[in-house]
Amino acid sequence: MLFPISPSLSLWRRILMVCLLLTLLLMASVFLGLAVGSTGQNLHEVLKVLFGMGNPASTLADIIWRIRLPRVILAALAGAVLSLGGLVFQTLLRNALAEPYILGISGGSAVGAIIGILMGLSRETGVAFCAFVGSMVTLFLLLMMTSGKWTLKKDDMILSGVMVNAFCSAIIMFLISLTQDARLHNILFWLMGDFSMSDTPQVLRLLWILMPCFVILFLLARPLNLLLLGEEMAAGMGVDVRWVSVVLLTVTSLMVSATVCYCGLLGFVGLVIPHLLRMRLGSDHRLLIPACMIGGGAYLVICDLIARTLPSQGEMPVGVVTAMIGAPMFIFLLHRSR
Amino acid sequence: MMTSVLDVRQVYLEYGSKIALNRVSFSVNEAEFFIVIGPNGSGKTSLVKVISGIIPLRDGDIMLLGRPMRQFSRRMLARNMAVVSQAIPDDIPFTVAETVLLGRSPCLGLLEMESRRDVEIAEQAMAFTHVTHLAKRRMNHLSGGERQRALIARAICQQPRILVLDEPTASLDLAHQIQVMDLMEQLRRTQGVTIVMVSHDLNLSAMYADRMLLMKDGSRVELGRPSDVMTSEILERIYECALLVDENPFTRTPRVIQSPRQWGRLSS
């Protein structure tokens, strides 16, 4: 008999194909991200630098390797983390509106970051540290509040998360209303997501934190699939639902917090990329997890490129671009898929 | 003597202050069709959850295939017992084929992909429950009967020794109820799978059950053949409503008929 699920037999092949395609897209966007900028529009010069044939001491080489490269990598990492976070939360909380920030991580880290900015701490370590502490505190509180007997109380969690975010927004507004000087600009950019302060050591540090998280999530792809059948059926098929939920929640929150504290509250990526990819690829997490990582990365690199090249002077927060392109695109695809 | 595959001993469970299972004991024989009945809130679903390891066993003992259930890991348990539970999300985003194939998960390693053999097992399970033609349809586009058959195929795909089902015929029409029950009977007869089922449908249960367990308020009330358990005295006492028990003309098994309150013997 010709089996109707042959696609899943060749799942490895499908994963490879999809990843290859998305990687090409990512590489193209990284290339553009490195090549295009406010200086050195001469493509020939840029190519020479990129392929190591130019003068390594030139200003252009310096800009590309020291400024643009860390920025592009940070954008790719952030896109990967936020898409992956959205994917995991959408499955875990069984809610189509779930995104990485829904449990209050954003509120917590924003309050932390703004306090950091107001205290005049350095952007790279001080503010990032404050943001991270803020998000960890909210995550911990949330887990304490909502751990049930053998599962997590999903609705309670979402509601608590929304409340935490609302409370934090109030604090943020309060802090903003007290601020008038240049720090206000910093705060606003942080809130909307911003890659302009990235540098190489910071990106490397982030990479070290994220790699184990990516591996853990990929290993939990099958339990995530089973969770889609409902917690009881998952438990009946050998999944320790409580343990898996807590691990997923912690790992995801950790990696989102670590990312957010470097680049601010990039909105929308985490909501839309998992949905877009699910529409095209189905719901198997063994395929979706790598696809979200690579696809989300590419998307954010492109958005960042637009954010810093579109305005004739300076740049705009990348969060503006993610939603401005993403929302119409999402609505269009949603309509077409119906 | 028949061998018991499932031996439940003095199982006790409480939610807060409410006792859900009050020292329930019984054993189920190999390849038996065993049906648990009882009024709403009698602890049937709790019993299923404890037996299938969804709720951890705290008080009492369960022997599964001669070994204490506490010694089974979740995955080991899932290789011997499959569950079709009642709480199933109605927005499962997989196709029927994908869902059925998920039944192989307990037998697969962390990164192991389904082999050709796994796919064959899934094919057979789908053929068994007549859902092969639906393979590429998405679960949320199926009718109630099709969905239930797909989920049962998923359970069969686990190749369990024991199949536990929580009200699999609820919300199905007459034809589909019989279809599901026939599938279970066929599975029991041809493959020796032990069926443990919770049901609200007494008449349907009486036609298929080898033995029935009647529960109320978390306790075992009666255990025995349908003709012993389903007498009007016992059922009126347990369900607290007026009813009449006669004989199903097809199967000679007991048949229950409710009576409206104004005709009832217990009307108060």
Q: What is the secondary structure of B14-61 as a DSSP string?
A: EETTEEEEEEEEEEEETT-EEEEE-STTSSHHHHHHHHTTSSPP-EEE
Q: What is the mean pLDDT of residues B159-175?
A: 92
Q: At what angle do helices A69-92 and A241-263 cross, to 10 degrees?
A: 150
**Tokens 């499959």 sit at which residue?**
B82
Q: What is the mean pLDDT of residues A12-34?
A: 91
Considering only CB atoms, which chain B residues are within 8 Å of A236? 52-54, 78, 81-83, 85, 164
Give the span between the Cα atoms of B87 and A336, in whole angstroms: 32
Of all residues in chain B, what percent carry a pLDDT higher than 90?
76
Q: In the predicted model, is pLDDT for residue A21 greater than 50? A: yes
Tell which B residues from 113 to 132 touch A, by Cβ distance under 8 Å. 113-114, 116, 119-120, 122-123, 132
pLDDT of residue B1: 54
Helix extents (H) in A220-283: 221-227, 231-236, 241-263, 269-281
Domain span at residue B138 reads 4-263
Q: What's the length of chain A?
A: 338
- Asked if B31 contacts B207 with a C-beta cutoff of 8 angstroms, the reply is no
* Residue A151: pLDDT band with limits 50, 70, 90: low
Q: pLDDT of A183-195, one tens digit each? A: 888 888 888 887 8
Q: pLDDT of B29-68, one tens digit each? A: 999 999 999 999 899 999 999 999 888 888 999 999 999 9
- Number of domains present in the structure of chain A: 1
Q: In the predicted model, is pLDDT for residue A178 greater than 70? A: yes
Q: What is the mean pLDDT of residues B98-119?
A: 89
pLDDT of residue B263: 61
Q: In the predicted model, is pLDDT for residue A307 greater than 50? A: yes
C-alpha distance from A5 to closest chain B C-alpha (Å) = 6
Q: In the predicted model, is pLDDT for residue B96 greater than 60? A: yes
Q: pLDDT of A98-149, one tens digit each? A: 888 888 888 898 899 888 888 888 766 788 888 888 988 888 888 777 766 5
Q: In the predicted model, is pLDDT for residue A3 greater than 50? A: no
Q: What is the mean pLDDT of residues A35-43?
A: 71
C-alpha distance from B93 to closest chain A C-alpha (Å) = 6
Considering only CB atoms, which chain A residues are within 8 Å of B86? 232
CATH of the domain at B25: 3.40.50.300
- Whether residue A6 is contained in a domain is answered as no
Q: What is the mean pLDDT of residues A217-234?
A: 93
Q: What is the mean pLDDT of residues A69-91?
A: 94
- Whether residue B268 is contained in a domain is answered as no
ipTM of the complex: 0.89
Nearest residue on chain A to B110, alpha-carbon basis: A219
Give the span between the Cα atoms of A197 and B265, in whole angstroms: 83
- Whether residue B173 is contained in a domain is answered as yes
pLDDT of residue A195: 82
- Number of domains present in the structure of chain B: 1
Give the span between the Cα atoms of A207 and A259, in whole angstroms: 10
pLDDT of residue A123: 67
Q: What is the mean pLDDT of residues B88-115?
A: 89
Find which of A48-57, A328-337, B116-125 is predicted with most confidence, using mean pLDDT.
Answer: B116-125
Q: What is the mean pLDDT of residues A252-258?
A: 89
Find which of A62-66, B89-93, B129-133 is predicted with most confidence, using mean pLDDT.
Answer: B129-133
Burial class (CB in 10 A: 0-12, 13-18, 19+), A321: buried
* Residue B262: pLDDT band with limits 50, 70, 90: low
pLDDT of residue A78: 94
Nearest residue on chain A to B57, alpha-carbon basis: A150
pLDDT of residue B267: 46
* Residue B25: pLDDT band with limits 50, 70, 90: very high
Q: pLDDT of B186-230, one tens digit each? A: 999 999 999 999 999 999 999 999 999 999 999 999 999 999 999
Q: In the predicted model, is pLDDT for residue A255 greater than 50? A: yes
- Whether residue B77 is contained in a domain is answered as yes
- Whether residue B57 is contained in a domain is answered as yes
Q: In the predicted model, is pLDDT for residue A90 greater than 60? A: yes
Distinct helix (H) and strand (E) counts, chain A: 16, 0
- Whether residue B51 is contained in a domain is answered as yes
* Residue A4: pLDDT band with limits 50, 70, 90: very low
B57 interfaces chain A, CB cutoff of 8 Å: no
Structure tokens at A35: 């090549």
- Whether residue A8 is contained in a domain is answered as no
- Whether residue A331 is contained in a domain is answered as yes
pLDDT of residue A5: 46
Q: What is the mean pLDDT of residues A11-27?
A: 90
- Whether residue B12 is contained in a domain is answered as yes
Residue B162: strand, helix, or coil: strand
pLDDT of residue A13: 84
Q: What's the length of chain B?
A: 268
Q: In the predicted model, is pLDDT for residue A35 greater than 90? A: no
* Residue B250: pLDDT band with limits 50, 70, 90: very high
Which of A102-116, A149-163, A176-190, B160-174 bottoms out in mean pLDDT, i.e. has the lowest? A149-163
Q: In the predicted model, is pLDDT for residue A19 greater than 60? A: yes
Of all residues in chain A, what percent carry a pLDDT higher than 90?
31
CATH of the domain at A37: 1.10.3470.10
Considering only CB atoms, which chain A residues are within 8 Å of B147? none
- Whether residue B244 is contained in a domain is answered as yes
B261 interfaces chain A, CB cutoff of 8 Å: no
Q: What is the mean pLDDT of residues A17-31?
A: 93
C-alpha distance from B34 to closest chain A C-alpha (Å) = 19
Give the span between the Cα atoms of A80 and A211, in whole angstroms: 11
Domain span at residue A53 reads 17-337
pLDDT of residue B231: 93
- Is the Cβ pair B95, A226 closer than 8 Å? no
Give the span between the Cα atoms of A74 and A97, in whole angstroms: 25
Q: How far is CA B264 from each of CA A33, A75, B201, B252, B256, rounded to the nearest angstrom? A: 81, 74, 20, 25, 14
pLDDT of residue B268: 45
